[in-house]
Structure 1
Amino acid sequence: MIIVRLDRVMADRKMTLKELSERTEISEVNLSKLKNSRVKAIRFSTLNAICTELKCQPRDILEFVYDI
């Protein structure tokens, strides 16, 4: 199971969804869907843009947890 931690990283950086959207040119709707784990896939270009703006690694945003 993949858990999205975008909200935590954004909070650590004191960045709003709107601000991240403006900086990455990714729509607020798509960022919101990602933040709330309502996506089935993410493009590397999207992940790259988010990590660049938040100055983080993909592992800071995405976490794998074994299903038991």
Structure 2
Amino acid sequence: MPILVNINILLVKKKMSVTELTEKVGITMVNLSILKNGKAKAIRFSTLEAICQAHDCQPCDILSYTPDENENKSD
């Protein structure tokens, strides 16, 4: 998937545990793990906002786009 979720990087930078983030954001450990591991198909804006508040960051610090090399390109 070309959209990457960089929660692990932010956790390390802020020296925050996954448990602490789940408490601040108000989501379950399972849902946070799904986000962290790139298995999520969607994210609610309210969840994104809560993560940004917990890390004092912008959405672009959490999400990044990397083109999929396997995508068919039109010539």
Aligned-pair CA distance for 1:23? 1.2
Which gives a bigger RCO, structure 1 or 2 (Cα 8 Å, sep 6+)?
1
Structure 1 runs of 4+ aligned residues shifted over 4 Å read none
Structure 2 partner of 1:66: 67
Structure 2 unaligned residues grouped into runs of 5+: 70-75
Q: CA RMSD in A?
A: 0.8
Q: Could you say which structure has the larger radius of gyration?
A: 2
TM-score by length of 1: 0.94
Aligned-pair CA distance for 1:24? 1.4
Paired residues in the alignment total: 68
Aligned-pair CA distance for 1:67? 2.0
Aligned-pair CA distance for 1:57? 0.7
TM-score by length of 2: 0.86
Q: Alpha-carbon deviations, 1:6-56, whole Å to 9, x = none? A: 100111000011000111111111011100101000000000000001111
Structure 1 unaligned residues grouped into runs of 5+: none
